[in-house]
Amino acid sequence: MVPSAGAGLAITDPSTDRLWEVLFCPFASRGTTVRSSEQGVLSRKRGREPRLEMGDPQGNLCTDAGVGDLVTEKCLVASKGPARRVQLACSGQYCAFPLDGNALCVWNTDDPSYQPLTLRGHHEPITAVAFGNAVSPLLVCSASRDYVIMWTLDECRQKALQGLTPRGVVMGTLLGKVLCLRLSPDDRAVAVCAGKKIFMLDTESQSTRAELEGHRGAVTAAEFCLWQTHLIISVSEDRSFKKRVFPKVWDHHMGSLIYNSSVLTASPLLSLLIDAESRQLVTGCANGQLWIFSLVEGHHYRCVTRVDLKKKSESFFRRVESRLCSLPEEGQRVCTDGLEKGEEVEASLPVLGLGPCDLSLVLPAECGCLPSENTTCLWIGSSAGLFIFNLANFELEAVLHYKDFRSSSIQVAGSCAVMSKVGGEKAVCLLTSLCGCKIALLEIYAAALVRSQRGHNAGRDLSVLPRAHVLSTSPLYFRPAEENRTQPAPQRQSAMRSTIKDQPLVFHSKVRSSGYASTPHITLFSPKTNTRSSGDRSLPRRDCHRGKEYPLESSPPTKVHKQRVIAHGPVAVSCVQYSGDGRWLACGLANHLSLVFRADLTGTPAVFSGHDGAVSTVCWSHDGRWLLSTSRDGTLRLWSLRGAELALCVGKDVFSKPARSAQFYYIDTFILLSSGPELQLLKYHVATCRDGIQRYKQKSRCKGVFRLPTTGMTEITSLSAVNDFYSYLVLTAGRNRTLEVFDLNAGCSAATIIEAHSRPVHQICQNKGSSFMTQQHQFYNLFATTATGDGIKLWDLRTLRCERCFEGHPNHGYPCGIAFSPCGRYVASGAEDRHLATVSLDGKLQLLVADN
């Protein structure tokens, strides 16, 4: 390093005897640029900052090539040889990649105009690069067929500034073609994946600790477990006739195999990532699929879910388009600068790289009632673009295609490495071209990208708790005082009562018979008196039976308390529901009956018979006096708990199509039901006559006061609304996999969520709370949905997006029900293996199993 005539320093590269000069350019916004003394050509392109194109033998290097507000191409390097299918490396401040085949180039991502550091020592092309985990000293490891070399970055830079040749430490020689390098969390060991073996090398003694054998194909990726550092997980490919892929778990201290999974896919696995927060393993394969496994103790490496990136990307763009179309006209604009939608999606999206993504500063404002620190995201780099994937709900948060940005130098990537910077606002991505020798460094504004592809005002005005008074034009508007007021008697009836009142009363000591004694006795009415009763038929009123406060910190049940045989023979229980006070349990059976048990399943149940089909829905009234049931026979019946008597029956003549779901609504003011594609609101009156003869006359009545069709006239498969307090919102699920929110105060549809599940939703369950428990008001906006074969999804009304997704319980062919706990912290679900799955909402995923 010698002083230069000018404002800068001249640095000579002793390996090439070429002079490099570092100058402070007055027009450069980032301080310095690098210029070659041979062919430095300064150029200015349209609408961009001046940049420096270097025509040196090492390649053409360009800086500050802006391509939009979301993505900036910081630099571009043209190498002599291709660098596709090579493991690249990115850290918080640096990125490393092979240059000209056997040279290692280290670039400063914070200031790309700063001089790159070129490290030479390999004779064969470099195939894998990896950074260490310690900040100081920062290590970088490179591997080729001849050497595995460990470099200390600070020492190498100091030697370069002194004019000396940086040198590394050779860790291994002639190990074969290395596809992956990975350093242990403490940087004391490095895993070298060469061929079918994994060599565990000691960084201090430069010796081989162990050789892990067992794969039948070339090992493509490996990762250390962060909380169990003695474990390492690897994947490989077997390019035999069947092309099988086997993930394996090793104990590299003992050199033994712990776990070997079954066949996953016919395509080779290319990438691997372990998330310490969610304790999950994510691996990507060449056909664009992600496999996610649980590493929680006791889960035995079970597969949580499998994600197809192509299908997820198509669904994501449809939802984005749906949100944009629902905005006002001034808001219907392109959501990303430089993004041109409309081109076809790639046939396959091979997962080339995985990296952590920090969106904790973006998500808290969107989902305030759920802890954002437990929402883990990751970057997915493919040949066609970048994806931000949310591990909490298994959905895409943002999609970025290379070809949508015309100014990008690389349209199809051959290798990819991506890493979020500190704070999560930005990320750096290192790409190599698939059909060329270009290497590009991109800076991505991750927070702005996510916000641009998300509806900002979606659901902001929606809340289960009402925020305004009932409108006078609303179907919910009624006057209880006028309805309950005694109607004036007709004039003729009043005159008759007046005449009778004016006549004197005569009392006779004997009354002559009218002749009824001579006629035979005929029984006019035969009341049903053989109904089995539990002996205690007192009304379950909440005010007379006040339970104790529900403990907040109680854990969900894990043991069977009591079992009860419902019926003799194969009779299915189609629906169950507890009463609001927790004293009674109603069950709807497939044999046309409804039973009401005590909560502890003791005593003889009350039997409600009258349906001609399987009972599909049972629902309690708010005061606990009435039970509502619907059946496949198309009728709706309202039962009185006193004597198990029928109080109201609504037949097929009232509904255009059979009633599928029904419930009490607006604190027992209405009956809410679904009939085909319509949502109907019924106003009912139940006669409570206690006379022995008059009670057989049907005086109860109901009438439809409002009906509202769904968008697209799709059949409603499930509905849910709050009855414990006044609420205007009703949630419905359609046969076309759409969720729709209705505002009955305004009498219209308020929001629509398309493609909520991969199959039609068969149940919507709201967090309605309990009279024994107090929750924060924002938790009432949570609701869960479930579909056969698609797990459980937790939604927030304020964001209209899935916040959590729970999978792992077998639910492939039978519609299993779900329910919220009274505290709102757990969701329970049935499973096809006769187990009960319980998941926690306020933290990490927990799977508690109880035998049926």
Q: Mind spelling out the 3-state secondary structure of 271-332?
A: EEEEECCCCEEEEEECCCEEEEEECCCCCCCCEEEEEEHHHHHHHHHHHHHHHHHHCCHHHC
Rounded Cα distance, 191 and 710, in Å? 57
Can you give the pLDDT at residue 631? 92
Residue 338 gets which letter from DSSP? T
pTM for this predicted structure: 0.77
CB 429, CB 441: distance < 8 Å: yes
Topology adopted by domain 710-851: Methylamine Dehydrogenase; Chain H (2.130.10)
497 or 71: which carries more pLDDT confidence?
71
Hey, which of 227-231, 338-342, 697-701 has the most confident mean pLDDT? 227-231
pLDDT band at 4 (very low <50, low <70, confident <90, very high): very low
689-721 pLDDT, tens digit per residue, is 655 566 566 678 888 899 999 999 999 999 999
Rounded Cα distance, 84 and 114, in Å? 25
CB 428, CB 421: distance < 8 Å: yes
Rounded Cα distance, 415 and 439, in Å? 9
Q: Which of 157-161, 326-330, 644-648, 719-723 has the lowest mean pLDDT?
A: 326-330
Q: Which amino acid is at 374?
A: N
Rounded Cα distance, 829 and 790, in Å? 13
Can you give the pLDDT at residue 209? 87
824 or 597: which carries more pLDDT confidence?
597
Can you give the pLDDT at residue 150? 93
Q: Which residue has the tokens 């201090």?
A: 204
448-483 pLDDT, tens digit per residue, is 888 888 765 555 678 999 988 999 999 998 755 444
Has domain 71-318+347-361+374-452 been given CATH number 2.130.10.10?
Answer: yes
Can you give the pLDDT at residue 25? 32
Q: Which of 171-185, 366-380, 424-438, 500-514 has the lowest mean pLDDT?
A: 500-514
pLDDT band at 848 (very low <50, low <70, confident <90, very high): very low
How many angstroms separate the most distant Cα atoms in the chain? 141
Six-digit token pair at 412?
Answer: 């199809």
Six-digit token pair at 434?
Answer: 């698939």
Q: Which residue has the tokens 């009258």?
A: 610
Q: Judging by DSSP bridges, how do beta strands 218-224 and 208-212 pair with one another?
A: unpaired
- Work out the average pLDDT over 615-629: 94
Residue 726 gets which letter from DSSP? -
Q: Tell me the backbone φ, ψ of residue 7, rounded to 5 degrees.
A: -85, 75
Mean of all residue pLDDT scores within the chain: 77
Which helix (DSSP H) or strand (DSSP E) does residue 481 occupy?
Answer: helix 480-484
Number of H helices, E strands in the chain: 5, 59
% pLDDT > 90, the chain: 33
Is it the case that residue 814 has pLDDT exceeding 50?
yes
**Angle at Cα 33 formed by Cα 27 and Cα 38, nearest 5°?**
115
Residue 751 CB coordination number (10 Å): 20
pLDDT band at 842 (very low <50, low <70, confident <90, very high): low
Domain with CATH 2.130.10.10 in the chain: 71-318+347-361+374-452, 569-687+698-707, 710-851
- Beta-bridge mates of residue 201: 190, 208
Is it the case that residue 536 has pLDDT exceeding 60?
no
Six-digit token pair at 497?
Answer: 């009562």
CB 818, CB 806: distance < 8 Å: no
Percentages helix, strand, coil for the chain (3-state, rounded to 5) are: 10, 40, 50
Name the CATH superfamily housing domain 569-687+698-707: YVTN repeat-like/Quinoprotein amine dehydrogenase (2.130.10.10)
Can you give the pLDDT at residue 549? 67
Q: Tell me the backbone φ, ψ of residue 832, rounded to 5 degrees.
A: -75, -15
Hey, which of 63-72, 257-266, 295-304, 632-641 has the most confident mean pLDDT? 632-641
Which helix (DSSP H) or strand (DSSP E) does residue 491 occupy?
Answer: helix 491-502
Q: Which residues of 576-595 are buried (b: 16+ CB within 10 A; e: fewer)?
A: ebebbbbbbbbbbbbebbbb
Can you give the pLDDT at residue 253? 67
Rounded Cα distance, 99 and 80, in Å? 8
